[in-house]
Chain A
């Protein structure tokens, strides 16, 4: 036993000695890092979408902005609401009908409930349905042949032939079917051919050929037809659209072109606006522009257009059918607005985010001069477009553009942490303006943390007598980062970057040319605590 006791004691001592192990903390030390972080070239395309920038023959850049203000389309002129048309046929006397014999025939006119007094004589249906319900009190199965002679698709008349169950003393025989009207042409001139909004239905009743014997139709028994017109959408209509007075506004539409500009002033040398009316509807119209303003809701500024077109009637001629592709020849009416005949530059210089308009439109101001040949396609409308074009020839004072950048330093903190340092921006500016930077830090809840101090500004490139940049200008902008700044940077999830531009050679207008750019290299000079 003795050796075993010794072994036990020995092992206990060893286990006690070797069982504990200290988990040491990580060593850490500070290093000074100097390294390039970001290299980029900034051009106007980075600030504005390519679609709004165009180059003039002299390589100067102009900004082109297009906005659709409003449209008058088929829905604006009329609509065909869902309609239910019920027809009850009451048998006036007793009669007997043998199997296979027709015992009932009727032709009826149905009137579409077209609003706004619009008188249609033809419609090509894009989509929509007729839901047909038939209730029969005849005590035998009957065959109903339902026809709409004025509805034709691919040369075929719309026809339905269905068996209606026999009625009983307590319950009528019932049948229901939904007919798709897509692609049907509707003649809406009725039986006489001179009516409007009217189509014809015809129904013929025949005793089922499989009936066991003659059927007695008693006096007062009925066959009821319920026509439900559902979601009728024409592709094309023709007729007389009436003399309608339409009013649009005052309404606002959003403008996004200047969203990034938050402050400063901008003076534009020239602004050209083409207020373009394109009529794709086969009606004459008279338009009066009662009000046309721009609004900056952030600064509560608004400017109303002062131009001869305001309050004056503008006559728009009807579009013409081509009977080809495209189906319609639009007619255009352009109102040219520029800095010479209006205050249009002021409307832009407030950096609007809304456009306000108020318009009266009279359809067929001269009455039914087309002889019922007004027309409208669903896809062709009367459009009003605003085409703005101005050369980037400007005077800017602290014109401040703002942008939000996603930012996170979280991943870096796993292996070390920035203590403090300086961000150096080596900027080579090819634009004829000075620029001041501001960086505001925000946390994940969008709470403002702080602004970072920025030393020096980006200096303007020098210009020659023609006010054209002759060479690039180098500037050094530094952003010192204290310990507090760094602490906040680690909390930062969004940086709001604001750049305030001021053009050189004021008060002269400076043109921006294609090829101008700013080269930026960001160098970090940090004290960094690293751990191993």
Chain B
């Protein structure tokens, strides 16, 4: 697209159509940066990730996350403990940062696993169609329809020892983290699968794909080289949005005692402890929840901004839209 003849550069710019040649990534960046809320969310998440990475530093200053000090229970904020101490005298800030590591790791890993599973199944279903398609999509429908949380609780309560997994692994500390990643990926792939299937269905009918097919490209090559790269935007958006959801699920399961197990601190299991002292020290229950809330809303706003930037229908700038009569031409959210 370029400026139409007789149109001033300003009017063209207001339509989001620029005269100069702009690379796709520049255009994306420009569209994304226009959404101030999404940019703020992105900056917040980067800062949070950096703070979580620096958790050992904070631990060196204020005490290790599992260092119980029964003489310093429930202290108010001070220089020695910037956010005070919890019900066992552990430094709250250090535990929040370590909890952030867990939440971000679980969220990103599970979202990535779910995206890989969903993309593969969606590609297969959309590309081959027929029986495989209807079977996979009925399966996805059923998974979506089920009451998720009760099911996850049962899955999280399964004894790994009974599945034939050696006790040394089944009872190690880190296993609760990988197990929750696995469980969430197991039920979380459906959104991406449906999006990729939809995109594949329409992409495989395009001329360039038919041409590649006529030239003798294999099924795998058609899917991986010709179809997948064009279906990448919805995958990115859905995966970003799912990170927030996954962090919420992880915190709920950890809170109920079925997710990340103490002594590993997570925002969810910190709230379990705080709930018991809610009458004497309510602030302990405020902080971990606030971190969950801000992180999840951060990922949701970021995903929303990415969606607006990646959606080809959103080339019209928002300022131009505002001046128009309400509701005549809008982009879907």
Bind each other: no
